[in-house]
């Protein structure tokens, strides 16, 4: 899974039928040391109701279709968790 920050949402009115119903999030991959964005973006299905600015991680590839909310959907990236705490070398480097 990859660490990312929710930087926006993607709205698409004309899309594949099975893409209906789930929010599409714009995610920016982040570097866990600096917690800064890496200017690499991906569109992911929102499996957990993540909000703008929240730190999440997402699963990619076929795993993205295994979340309860995305079973059988044509997605290759799904947000599966909202991060509360990142702890590195004994100290907390991120707290929600």
The 69-88 site mask, x for binding another protein (CB under 8 A), equals: xx-------xxxxxxxxxxx
Q: Are strands 36-46 and 24-31 parallel, antiparallel or unpaired?
A: antiparallel
State the minimum distance, in angstroms, from the CB of residue 49 to another protein. Answer: 7
Cα dihedral 44, 47, 51, 57, rounded to 10, equals -70
Query: By CB under 8 A, how many residues form the interface with another protein?
Result: 35
Residue 88 CA from chain centroid, whole number:
21
Binding residues vs another protein (CB under 8 A): 1-3, 31-33, 47-49, 57, 59-64, 66-70, 78-90, 93
């Amino acid at each position: 899974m990859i660490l990312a920050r929710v930087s926006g949402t993607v709205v698409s009115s004309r899309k594949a039928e099975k893409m209906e119903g789930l929010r599409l999030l714009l995610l920016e991959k982040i570097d866990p040391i600096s917690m800064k964005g890496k200017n690499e973006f991906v569109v992911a299905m929102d499996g957990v109701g993540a909000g703008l600015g929240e730190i999440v991680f997402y699963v990619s590839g076929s795993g993205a279709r295994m979340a309860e909310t995305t079973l059988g959907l044509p997605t290759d990236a799904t947000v599966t968790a909202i991060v509360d705490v990142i702890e590195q070398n004994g100290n907390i480097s991120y707290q929600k």
